[in-house]
Structure 1
Amino acid sequence: MARSKHSDGGEEIGLLAVQVGDLTGEPGKGEQIRKALAAFAASSRPDTLLPSERVLAEQFGVARMTVRGAIDSLESAGLVRREPGRGAFVQHPRLTHSEIFRSFTEDMRFRGMEPGARDFSARLEAATEAVAAALDIAEGDPVVRIERVRTADGTAMAYETTNLPASRFPDLIEKMSETDSLYEVLDRSYGVRPENAEQTVAIDRLSPEDAVRLETQAGEPCFAIERKAHDNMGKTVEFGRSLYRGDRYVIEMHVGRAADG
């Protein structure tokens, strides 16, 4: 990925100047610069190089220690990372993919983020051998296949593909829209509420096509998560595979020793 050069700060300084505005009151300058840098980081691509401490200090008329303190705060918050001899680079905080069973929509709302979607498609297909086995139906039976890119606050986070038995969920294609929560539609329209799931997680690399979908670079690492969700009667509701950006997620697991014997 191409990296910015410090030089005189140029375009980056112009953006920061607009975000900071007029600095007034010595005690508040550091906080104003911190907020401006945070806004700059949020609107920039990961690995964007921040202007140097010297350039920022000269531009805003403050001591380098004031700028350094603001960057220290951003580093503690996970918004930037420092590389010795190179400078400070933008990074986006990673979300924890926990063991708690939630839909993508529920998870983003829980985090205070706005869930969204794009590139939505829903169609009928004949179940392949693997999909049929996962859904406990016959090979060739019709399934509803749903694909879409899931977003959080407008940023692409995951590419979802899932399959549901069409006989159990008639007219699902007509009931689903791009941004609907699948689980909310199943609950509202069919009285079915997924309660638990079996998941497997593997590390993969994004293909060029998937990288375009997720607005990142081909070959970047991702989590490939297969999910088989069940209702409270143990019947399989859906079977799918999602690709989560490795630069935006970490996986949380709770482990313990096996009981003796």
Structure 2
Amino acid sequence: MSRQRHEPKNVAPEIFTADDGQPKGQHIKNVLTALVHDSRDGELLPSERVLAERFGAARMTVRNVMVELESQGLVRREAGRGTFVQHPTLVHSEIFRSFSEDMRMRGMVPGAKSYRSRTRPAPRDVAAHLDVAPGTLAHFIERVRTADGVPMALERTNLSAERFPTLLTEMGRDDSLYEVLGRVYGTRLETAEQSVSIARLSPADARRLEVPDYDPAFLVERTAVDAMGNIVEYGRSLYRGDRYAIQMHVSRSANR
């Protein structure tokens, strides 16, 4: 049985044959790179034969471009199945940074959506982590953090309303929380205690992160403190398991 042709989706036909003055191989690479970035992770790409026809190029030229994209981690090729989109995995390292700062350092544009915030009496467990009495007013902020428009993490964090009374009026959906704390209150977060575990995304959380129900995720629990050692923030955030890897520095103890 012959294999069904898989045609490029949502791509203007003239893109393939556009004369942009670049060498054919570079033109193919530019178009396919844009196609990969606009496709979902794991999506099947058209075959080399179909792409060669669309570009009016030799299959070997298309194959060389695919090999280059594979070396860059943008696609993965599976014998007998085809070539699939593979979005890069981001390393969640030990270095303490805000999400916005981390994404900018990677050359990506940080953002957010599905923003919710409110001030509420702190539940007992949140109060304990913030080192305040249960029932003390605390700000709760929840949002989906994005990089280049792609959902990456579901952040849920808590801060003292007594210490940061106007935070929710100062804070915008896309703002870096840490930058707002520094600009408005002169508070700089210096260190954090963090624990990481594996969780399964509930259907509601999976929809917000645009992944299948019950996909694995990293649950990152963080308590951040300022230069004086005062607790500033306590949060529990979910990072997409298909987009992140955890990096840790380990060493032997000195007496071994």
Normalising by the smaller structure, the TM-score range is over 0.9
Structure 1 gap segments, 5+ residues each: none
Corresponding residue SS for 2:188: coil
Displacement after TM superposition at 1:37 (Å): 1.1
Residues 76-225 of structure 1: matches in 2 within 5 Å? 76-225=71-220
Q: What is the rounded CA distance, in whole Å, between the counterparts of 1:6 and 1:142 in structure 2? A: 62
Letter in 2 for 1:10: E
**In 1, Cα distance between equivalents of 2:20 and 2:112:** 42
- Asked if the contact 2:216–2:240 (Cα under 8 Å) also holds between the matched residues in 1, the reply is yes
Matching residue within 35, 39, 44 for 1:49: 44
Task: Tell me if 1:37 matches 2:32.
Answer: yes
Shift of 1:16: 6.9
Residues 45, 83 of structure 2: 8 Å contact kept = yes
TM-score between the two structures when normalised by the length of structure 1: 0.92
CA 1:18/1:246 → structure 2, altered by over 3 Å: closer, same or farther? farther
Alpha-carbon displacement from aligned partner over 1:61-118 (angstroms, at most 9, x marks no partner)? 3222111111001111111111111010011111111111111111111112111111
The offset of 1:31, in angstroms, is 2.1
Cα separation, 2, equivalents of 1:22 and 1:183: 45
- The residue matched to 1:10 in structure 2 has which SS? coil
Q: Kindly, what percent of the aligned residue pairs are identical?
A: 56
- Once the two structures are superposed, residues 21-41 of structure 1 have per-residue CA deviations (whole angstroms, 9 ceiling, x without a partner) of 33688x922222122111111
Asked if the contact 1:125/1:142 (under 8 Å) is kept, the reply is yes
Instruction: Find out whether 1:10 has 2:7 as its counterpart.
Output: yes
Aligned-partner SS, 2:97? coil
Check conservation: 1:162, 1:240, Cα contact below 8 A.
yes
Contact 1:159 1:242 in 2 (8 A): yes
- The equivalences for 1:66-77 within 5 A come to 66-77=61-72
Contact 1:6-1:49 at 8 Å conserved across structures: no
Matches of 2:3 and 2:31 in 1, distance apart? 18
Residues 122-164 of structure 1, C-alpha deviations (whole Å, 9 max, x = no match): 1111112211111111111111111111111111111100001
Q: Indicate the SS of the match to 1:184.
A: helix
Distance in 1, Cα, partners of 2:179 & 2:99: 11
Q: How far apart are the structure 1 equivalents of 2:108 and 2:53?
A: 36
Question: What is the distance in 2 between the residues matched to 1:150 and 1:232?
Answer: 26
Distance 1:6 1:118, change over 3 A: farther
The answer (yes or no) to whether the contact 2:17–2:56 under 8 Å persists in 1 is no
Q: Work out whether 1:22 is the aligned partner of 2:22.
A: no
Corresponding pairs, count: 255
In the alignment, the residues of structure 2 paired with residue 207 and residue 19 of structure 1 have an alpha-carbon distance, to the nearest angstrom, of 40
TM-score normalised according to structure 2 size? 0.93
Measure, in 2, the Cα distance between the counterparts of 1:205 and 1:123: 26
Q: Is the 8 A contact 1:33 1:67 kept in 2?
A: yes
Rounded Cα–Cα distance in structure 1 between residues aligned with 2:79 and 2:20: 32
Report the Cα offset of residue 51 of structure 1.
1.1
Deviation at 1:11, TM superposition (A): 4.1
